[in-house]
């Protein structure tokens, strides 16, 4: 008999007042009992609506079935057939707008907690060493070691392609390492997934800034038969308001990189952490939530999220918004920054904002916020974090003449195949689409890898 309880089995988590003072993981994961009970909520629909919501097509009912009898090993094996990074996806995917949105149980009550079950399977199964297929003798280069590149490398390696990945930073993982904080995705979890790729024979060269130290021509000359570009959208956008050069104004990328990649919050790290009492974060996406929650943990002061649309329009994952609110982050909706104020010391002393109201729908179909006259007020803060989006990394656009880019700086890519304008060169993830999600990048990495396998075989 399925478990007909209307709500998801709650996942234990650190209490808000404890967790907002530490960087360890907020959500603690299901116990075996809880996982079993939640798995029982899955009706195992024949037509599997949930699978249509998954960018990598995980066979969701198939992996949940063994969890009903507590068999995490089989569940992980099924997950791994379509998803190279289940421990990561279980934590960071926006399930509520993907698989879970289409779950039949969601028609009356809450959908099955697919993400939590995925995480449970990945965390508690005894990992089986993965091995690549028999070597085909083909070699491929993957530029960037974020979600798109890691997925692409995993699919290629599983098909017997010899893969070398190139990472510009000193640590692989891309946004999983520099962007998403420890309390949401522990570095050890991302590290484990990367290690399992290495076990399959994938090589990773760090500190290699492709475009500068190596060109795509160099990669072909080194004997790689195909190249995948997954360098992401790492170029931060600032708000273009007066005062942005004051000390204490950060892009979310800088703020998060100092904390996540450079571990500046640890006492013996040599990279300075931002020092402030109260912070204002501008933006409403996952990055804004990550920055706000890191700011709270660093300073213990007031942290205000300023977002120009309403609560319903917040693009962040529901769980992150909920967690942020629980942790004492204050939200100012329908509010936009006008100017950042500074003192004689050239440091931030406040941020002037104005209230907005929603007008006619804009090109994105969302109602455009327009300023309300006479509504200006000042948020007291000595730190401002701009989390209003990023654009594609510009380096390859500047250095690679043979590739076509669109006017937003994205590599022009066929979404069905990952092909770019240059034969043998494929792309996917944020460098092709602009800033999106981990799972969408993974989906694109997988599609490109399949095309690359066919291309290499036909050479």
Residues forming the site for other proteins (CB under 8 A):
168-170, 178, 206-209, 212-214, 234-236, 238, 244-245, 247-248, 250-251, 253-254, 257-258, 261-262, 268-272, 275, 346, 393-395, 398
Q: Is the dihedral of CA 241, 245, 251, 253 positive or negative?
A: positive
Taking alpha carbons only, the member of 36, 105, 43, 41 closest to residue 68 is: 36
Contact 438, 92 (CB under 8 A): yes
| C-alpha atoms less than 13 angstroms from C-alpha of 458 in its C-beta half-sphere | 8
* Cβ closest to other proteins, residue 310 vs residue 394: 394
* Cβ closest to other proteins, residue 275 vs residue 454: 275
* Cβ closest to other proteins, residue 144 vs residue 369: 144
Contact 237, 386 (CB under 8 A): yes
Q: How far is the CB of 125 from other proteins (least distance, A)?
A: 30
Q: How far is the CB of 143 from other proteins (least distance, A)?
A: 13
Report phi then psi at 367, rounded to 5. -70, 130
* Cβ closest to other proteins, residue 108 vs residue 240: 240
The pairing of beta strand 367-371 with beta strand 348-361: antiparallel
Q: How far is the CB of 433 from other proteins (least distance, A)?
A: 18
Contact 131, 89 (CB under 8 A): no
Q: How far is the CB of 234 from other proteins (least distance, A)?
A: 4
**What does 230-266 look like in DSSP terms, one character per residue?**
-----EE-----TTTTSBTEEEHHHHHIIIIIS-TTS
Q: Is the dihedral of CA 413, 418, 421, 425 positive or negative?
A: positive
Q: How far is the CB of 245 from other proteins (least distance, A)?
A: 5
Enter the tokens of residue 3: 């478990």
Helix (H, G, I), strand (E, B) or coil at 415: coil
Q: How far is the CB of 254 from other proteins (least distance, A)?
A: 4
Contact 339, 245 (CB under 8 A): no
Taking alpha carbons only, the member of 204, 189, 88 closest to residue 438 is: 88
Q: How far is the CB of 235 from other proteins (least distance, A)?
A: 6
- In whole angstroms, give the CA distance from residue 112 to residue 119: 13
* Cβ closest to other proteins, residue 17 vs residue 195: 195
- In whole angstroms, give the CA distance from residue 289 to residue 1: 39
* Cβ closest to other proteins, residue 272 vs residue 423: 272
* Cβ closest to other proteins, residue 132 vs residue 173: 173
Contact 367, 334 (CB under 8 A): no
Q: How far is the CB of 251 from other proteins (least distance, A)?
A: 4
* Cβ closest to other proteins, residue 128 vs residue 222: 222
Q: How far is the CB of 299 from other proteins (least distance, A)?
A: 15
Q: Helix, strand, coil shares of the chain as percentages rounded to 5?
A: 35, 20, 45
- In whole angstroms, give the CA distance from residue 66 to residue 222: 45
Q: How far is the CB of 314 from other proteins (least distance, A)?
A: 24
* Cβ closest to other proteins, residue 104 vs residue 208: 208
- In whole angstroms, give the CA distance from residue 377 to residue 386: 18
* Cβ closest to other proteins, residue 155 vs residue 259: 259
* Cβ closest to other proteins, residue 18 vs residue 398: 398
- In whole angstroms, give the CA distance from residue 333 to residue 321: 13
Q: How far is the CB of 253 from other proteins (least distance, A)?
A: 5
As a whole number of Å, the end-to-end CA separation of the chain is 53
The stretches of 83-174 forming alpha helices (DSSP H) are: 86-92, 114-124, 147-158
């Amino acid at each position: 008999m399925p478990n007909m309880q209307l709500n998801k089995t709650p996942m234990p988590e650190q209490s808000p007042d404890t967790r907002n003072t530490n960087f360890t993981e907020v959500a603690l994961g299901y116990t075996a009992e809880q996982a079993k009970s939640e798995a029982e909520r899955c009706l195992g629909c024949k037509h599997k609506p949930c699978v249509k919501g998954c960018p990598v097509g995980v066979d969701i009912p198939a992996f949940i079935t063994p969890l009903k009898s507590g068999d995490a090993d089989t569940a992980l094996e099924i997950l791994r057939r379509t998803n190279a990074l289940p421990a990561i996806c279980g934590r960071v995917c926006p399930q509520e707008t993907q698989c879970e949105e289409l779950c039949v149980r969601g028609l009356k009550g809450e959908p099955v907690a697919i993400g939590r079950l995925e995480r449970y399977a990945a965390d508690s199964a005894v990992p089986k060493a993965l091995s690549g297929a028999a070597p085909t003798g083909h070699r491929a280069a993957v530029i960037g070691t974020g979600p798109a590149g890691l997925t692409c490398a995993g699919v290629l390696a599983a098909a017997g392609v010899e893969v070398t990945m190139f990472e510009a930073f000193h640590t692989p993982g891309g946004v999983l390492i520099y962007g998403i904080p420890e309390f949401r995705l522990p570095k050890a979890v991302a590290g484990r997934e990367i290690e399992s790729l290495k076990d399959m024979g994938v090589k990773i060269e760090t500190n290699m800034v492709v475009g500068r130290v190596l060109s795509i021509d160099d990669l072909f000359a080194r004997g790689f038969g195909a190249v995948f570009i997954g360098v992401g959208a790492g170029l931060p956008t600032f708000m273009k308001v007066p005062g942005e050069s004051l000390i204490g104004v950060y892009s979310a990328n800088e703020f998060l990189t100092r904390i996540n990649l450079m571990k500046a919050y640890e006492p013996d790290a040599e990279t300075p952490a931002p020092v402030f009492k109260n912070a204002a974060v501008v933006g409403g996406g996952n990055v804004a939530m990550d920055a706000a929650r890191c700011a709270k943990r660093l300073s213990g002061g007031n942290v205000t999220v300023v977002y120009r649309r309403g609560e319903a329009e917040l693009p962040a994952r529901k769980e992150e918004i909920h967690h942020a609110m629980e942790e004492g982050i204050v939200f100012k909706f329908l509010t936009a920054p006008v100017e950042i104020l500074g003192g004689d010391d050239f440091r931030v002393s406040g941020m002037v904002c104005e209230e907005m109201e929603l007008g006619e729908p804009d090109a994105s179909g969302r109602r455009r916020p327009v300023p309300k006259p006479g509504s200006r007020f000042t948020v007291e803060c000595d730190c401002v974090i701009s989390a209003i989006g990023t654009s594609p990394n510009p380096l390859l656009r500047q250095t690679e003449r043979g590739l076509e880019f669109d006017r937003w700086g994205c590599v022009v890519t066929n979404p069905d195949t990952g092909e770019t304008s240059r034969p043998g060169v494929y792309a996917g993830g944020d460098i092709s689409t602009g800033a999106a999600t981990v799972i969408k990048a993974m989906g694109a990495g997988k599609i490109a890898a399949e095309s690359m396998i066919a291309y290499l075989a036909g050479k």
